[in-house]
């Protein structure tokens, strides 16, 4: 699944090029996770103002309303002036005066949803309960520690839940906990202040590095210009079960938490 860095990389790859464009036509393919919520023709004539990100959602601000875009499990966006004809997995095409925006999603867990504004019930349902943005000034050590103190669940599960800090998906949660020396099964509310501060800085630095590396491409992620990411070359524990820990040489272990694989070093992550 594309995580926060991949969504941010996607945003950066087309946001400037589509800003100011007028929508000329919209084509919907097979149904996605959620309906568009309006007749596609109703979008014609609207203008794209800017493209933002909230967690794993892209918010395309229009002069009237917004488009909420989620890439789902395997979706990707393309933007260009000469895209090929739509294929079987191309489920949303928006032709604008500056190029064509297309969502390709083989598994159809992604979505494009039209909302009237940030007080729209659908906007609030999808984005209203998201936690702090980890790359924003709102994300501080103090607020992070306060959020963790309220949660008794394992720290890995709390990071994935997204209600304390948003967008720290499976790859980056495993990597951040390794850097912080925290066992992924430890209860979030038992982590001390000093260790929380280390985890805080690990999260921020990891996500920044991943954005700079173009995201992580494990299978088929690419940005809106078709470029793949390279952060997978920098991971230290994720998907490295049985390999030696880069710090102590012990074998990396894998366990299941909430139906997701967690990778960690049993020696370096004792606390």
Of 222, 221, 220, 225, nearest to 80 by C-alpha is: 225
∠ CA 185-56-191, nearest 5°, is 25
Here the tokens at position 197 are: 């501060």
56 is catalytic: yes
Query: Tell me, what DSSP letter sits at residue 154?
Result: B
- Set 46, 56, 108, 183: catalytic member: 56
Q: Is 233 exposed, middle or buried (0-12, 13-18, 19+ CB in 10 A)?
A: exposed
Contact between 130 and 55 (Cβ < 8 Å): yes
229 three-state secondary structure:
coil
Contact between 241 and 256 (Cβ < 8 Å): no
∠ CA 65-95-87, nearest 5°, is 120
DSSP per position, 59-96: EEEESSSEEEEE-TTT-EEEEESSPPPP-TTEEEEEEE
Residues 6+ apart with CB under 8 A from 258: 157, 160
- Set 3, 6, 8, 175: catalytic member: 3
- Set 2, 134, 154, 184: catalytic member: 2
The residues annotated with a catalytic role in the active site are 2-3, 56, 260
């Amino acid at each position: 699944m594309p995580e926060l860095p991949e969504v941010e990389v996607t945003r950066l790859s087309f946001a400037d090029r589509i800003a100011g464009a007028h929508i000329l036509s919209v084509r919907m393919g097979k149904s996605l996770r959620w309906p568009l919520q309006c007749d596609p023709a109703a979008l014609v004539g609207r203008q794209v103002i800017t493209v933002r990100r909230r967690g794993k959602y892209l918010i395309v601000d229009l002069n009237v309303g917004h488009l909420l875009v989620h890439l789902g499990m395997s979706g990707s966006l393309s933007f260009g002036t000469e895209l090929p004809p739509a294929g079987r997995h191309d489920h949303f095409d928006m032709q604008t005066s500056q190029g064509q925006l297309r969502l390709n999603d083989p598994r159809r867990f992604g979505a494009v949803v039209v909302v009237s504004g940030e007080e729209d019930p659908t906007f609030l349902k999808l984005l209203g309960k998201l936690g702090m943005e980890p790359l924003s000034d709102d994300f501080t050590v103090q607020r992070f520690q306060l959020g963790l103190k309220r949660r008794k669940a394992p720290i890995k599960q709390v990071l994935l839940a997204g209600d304390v800090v948003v967008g720290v998906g499976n790859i980056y949660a495993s990597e951040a906990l390794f850097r912080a020396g925290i066992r992924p099964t430890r209860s979030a509310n038992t982590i001390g202040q000093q260790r929380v501060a280390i985890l805080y800085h690990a999260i921020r630095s990891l996500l920044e590095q991943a954005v700079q590396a173009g995201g992580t491409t494990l299978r088929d992620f690419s940005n809106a210009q078709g470029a793949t990411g390279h952060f997978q070359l920098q991971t230290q524990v994720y998907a490295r079960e049985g390999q030696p820990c880069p710090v102590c040489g012990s074998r990396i272990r894998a366990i299941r938490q909430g139906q997701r694989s967690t990778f960690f070093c049993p020696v370096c992550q004792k606390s």
